[in-house]
Amino acid sequence: MADSMMAQSKPTDSIQKPTFELEEVMVAALRVDANSPVTFSNLSKKELSQRNLGQDIPILMKYLPGVVTTSDAGAGIGYTGIRVRGSDATRVNVTLNGIPLNDAESHGVWWVNMPDFASSTESLQLQRGVGTSTNGSGAFGASLNLLTDAVATLPGVELSNSLGSFNTLKSTLKFTTGLLNNRIEFAGRLSSIQSEGYIDRATSDLESFFLQASYLNDNTLIKALAFGGHEVTYQSWNGIEDKETLRTHRTYNSAGKYTDENDNVQFYDNEVDNYKQDHFQLHWNQKWDASLSTNIALHYTHGRGFYEQYKEDQSFSEYNLTPIIVGSTTLNTTDLIRRKWLKNDFYGTTVSINYKKSSVDWTLGSSLNTYEGDHFGEVIWARNAGNSEIRNRYYDNFGNKKEANVFSKLEIQLTSQWLGYLDLQYRSLNYEADALFEGNKVDATFEFFNPKAGLTFKHNSNHYFYTSYARAQREPNRTDYENGTPLPEILDDFELGWRFQSGSSRVNTNLYYMKYQDQLVLTGAIDDVGAPIRANVGDSYRLGLEIDALIALTDKWVIHPTVSLSKNKNKDYIFKRNGKLETLGDTHIAYSPEVVVSNAIQYQPSDRLQLSLLTKYVGEQYLGNLDSQNSLLEAYAISDLSVQYQWNFSSVIDSLELNLLINNIFDASYISNGYFYTYDDDWSQPGEVKTIEGTGYYPQAGIHFLLGVRLKI
């Protein structure tokens, strides 16, 4: 029973082999392989589990090529973020079993709502660039698709517990019945994660569940899934707002700060983000014959929650309150506690059909999705409440989105060495929102046609060469509309690559040129809840080289280096400084380091013991688009040490596994993220306007550890 949780890895198992093939039907429409002219990386369940001790999926992906990650709380638990090729998380299209995971309005994925989801992930594939057509919002920097746990043939129970720095505790219970009567399996997971975080008061209290029921026969796999999470995190969105505080108090957190009636600085104890999200999926995978297979899925996601804030000296008018007259004095402001709510529902269906025979591999897919979101704010307490009622609702907005998507992919063997690839996608959507507090409404309809084409040349079994072109078009998100009148953005992505495989060693190398029109780049500024602000910039581009290698030096030593070199530019950038428009020429695109390098050195002296030293270097990057020295974030290098030891048994206990992860083992003092803003000060001199610049920082933890024990029964 030692492999009960990973039985899908046994291709010789007469039951498991068709199971594995049917599992792949779920992602066949979205994933690619070495024959495809798409740049990608895979992570298996085994690779994820080695470092899965409580940190979010983006942190577990940080050693993939071109990937940069960050954590608001500083230690990888709570709010985390990911960038690929300099593109932020809103451009990374994420699907889960082929179901869109990105929020329809913000375009982001909030992994904090899905704590410990890595424990229920069978594998993931990250496609860099536009990638292949997929469901959901258009990929504009990368596509990430995840496959949840495969059906297990044998029963088993898995207990995982870990503890570590910052009072981090993680507990996970998994079970599977195995296949009952060779047809039905029930499986599930319960998880709990608590951490105080590196940053002051950046606590996380996270809970999640995962339930799966499966029916299987030789040609049919039906899966019903229910999973969700509840997160309560103390806000740490503000970062550190000046270099002096960064120098003297790296863990400072301004969230919740207020001054009491005795002029003492206090911090509100419930300055939290509190959100629940539940997901439901139903999949029917069918192999009709040796060539034809289909997947039909229904999905529904329900989210609800708020973030709570103590706010000082707030205007009565902003909260629809009536000023209070006390004697001869009129009170126009008050201290208060507010909650900003989001309740949303996302539902729809996806279908795909795959025909694979001889020299042809053809897929047709489609999806219909609807999003309904309610945004509203409540005042739950006020020092001077006036005529307000309890939970006075001071704004009430909505955001509704309907989307239809259809795509067709064809891979055809042109000759014994040449493989052709054609991928056509059409997206149609309508977005309606009361997006601005001033009452402006959005009613926007978009139609996008995104063609992709490529060629793969197989020189021999060791060498593959590929080239491709892909177009992506993408609509603005809600925050973009709140900050102006944005345009949709267009990307033309050109890729040229070489793949080499020999024995257990491989090398993947690719060149890319990503040409943008009206790209919505991050300006560097954030709003009052830490959300990044974007703006159209006209013409821009990213030009880069990526190398991803796995080299077996001996049967015990393996190295895994990656190199990402890039040039990321806004062309003829114009900015209004000191009251006058200035042409700054070609400037660096914000949050786009030109050098990202990683390496893993793995030593496995026996089947039981494995040691890995993982290193990441991220070059300097600008936090804004002005090439201002004030916005320059210094380069940094970090290393993690991973130690894994496993005992195998033949009795009631199958295996016992110890995992030690020492993060930032050399105790580097580094900052992985920040923000940059400008504002005009017209009070310096009469008639003079001066542009002021400011920078904020998100420091990350020094050396810290996680120690885990995994017991399989």
Question: Percent of the chain beyond pLDDT 90?
Answer: 78
Distance of CA 161 to CAs 117, 173, 174, 711, Å?
15, 9, 12, 9
Domain assignment present for 45 = yes
pLDDT at position 686 is 66
Domain assignment present for 709 = no
Q: What is the DSSP letter of 198?
A: S
The alpha-helical segments, DSSP class H, found in 162-263 are 243-248
pLDDT at position 19 is 56
What letter represents residue 169's amino acid?
L
Residue 15 binned pLDDT confidence (cut-offs 50, 70, 90) = very low
Q: Is the pLDDT of residue 329 over 90?
A: no
Domain assignment present for 690 = yes
- Which two tokens mark 131? 């990638």
* Mean pLDDT value of segment 331-352: 94
Domain assignment present for 713 = no
Domain that holds residue 639: 4-704
CA distance 65 to 85: 9
Domain assignment present for 712 = no
Dihedral pair phi/psi, residue 334, rounded to 5°:
-155, 155
CA distance 254 to 220: 55
Task: State the DSSP string of 92-151.
Answer: EEEEETTEE-S-TTT----GGGSTTGGGGEEEEEEEESS-S--SSSPPSSEEEEEEEPPP
CA distance 446 to 486: 13
Neighbours of 648 (CB within 10 A): 13
Give the residue with greater pLDDT, 524 vs 390: 524
Question: In this structure, are residues 511 and 567 in contact, taking their beta carbons and an 8 Å threshold?
Answer: no
Domain assignment present for 700 = yes
Q: Find, among 24, 22, 132, 146, the residue nearest to 410 by Cα.
A: 132
Domain assignment present for 577 = yes
Tell me the pLDDT tens digit for each residue of 138-196. Answer: 678 899 999 999 999 999 999 999 999 999 999 999 999 999 999 999 999 999 999 99
Q: Is the pLDDT of residue 135 over 80?
A: no
* Mean pLDDT value of segment 52-75: 94
* Mean pLDDT value of segment 134-139: 75
Question: In this structure, are residues 74 and 3 in contact, taking their beta carbons and an 8 Å threshold?
Answer: no
Q: What is the DSSP letter of 262?
A: T
pLDDT at position 18 is 52
* Mean pLDDT value of segment 675-687: 76
pLDDT at position 683 is 61
Tell me the pLDDT tens digit for each residue of 265-290. Answer: 999 999 999 999 999 999 999 999 98
- Which two tokens mark 708? 């885990």
pLDDT at position 328 is 79
Tell me the pLDDT tens digit for each residue of 526-584. Answer: 877 777 899 999 899 999 999 999 999 999 999 999 999 999 999 999 988 887 888 89
pLDDT at position 2 is 35
pLDDT at position 482 is 86
Counted residue by residue, the chain has a size of 713
Helix (H) or strand (E) holding 58: helix 57-60
The CATH number linked to 671 is: 2.40.170.20
Residues 132, 135, 141, 144: what is their CA dihedral angle, to the nearest 10 degrees?
A: -80
pLDDT at position 391 is 76
CA distance 37 to 419: 9
Helix (H, G, I), strand (E, B) or coil at 53: coil
Average pLDDT, the chain: 91
pLDDT at position 483 is 85
* Mean pLDDT value of segment 255-263: 92
CA distance 580 to 514: 31
Residue 78 binned pLDDT confidence (cut-offs 50, 70, 90) = very high
Tell me the pLDDT tens digit for each residue of 17-47. Answer: 455 566 666 666 778 888 899 999 999 998 9
pLDDT at position 137 is 73
Tell me the pLDDT tens digit for each residue of 191-217. Answer: 999 999 999 999 999 999 999 999 999
Question: In this structure, are residues 620 and 627 in contact, taking their beta carbons and an 8 Å threshold?
Answer: no
Q: Which range, of 243-247, 649-653, 703-707, averages the lowest pLDDT?
A: 649-653
Q: Which residue has the tokens 């900050």?
A: 483
Tell me the pLDDT tens digit for each residue of 470-524. Answer: 999 999 999 899 888 899 999 999 999 999 999 889 999 999 999 999 999 999 9
Domain assignment present for 189 = yes
pLDDT at position 672 is 96
What letter represents residue 221's amino acid?
L
Give the residue with greater pLDDT, 651 vs 701: 701
* Mean pLDDT value of segment 253-257: 95
Question: In this structure, are residues 712 and 651 in contact, taking their beta carbons and an 8 Å threshold?
Answer: no
* Mean pLDDT value of segment 107-132: 93
Tell me the pLDDT tens digit for each residue of 404-461. Answer: 999 999 999 999 999 999 999 999 999 999 865 555 789 999 999 999 999 999 999 8
Name the pTM for this structure.
Answer: 0.92
* Mean pLDDT value of segment 131-144: 82
Dihedral pair phi/psi, residue 202, rounded to 5°:
-80, 60
Helix (H) or strand (E) holding 165: none
Task: State the DSSP string of 523-548.
Answer: EEEE-TTSPEEEEE-SEEEEEEEEEE
What is the total count of domains within the chain?
1
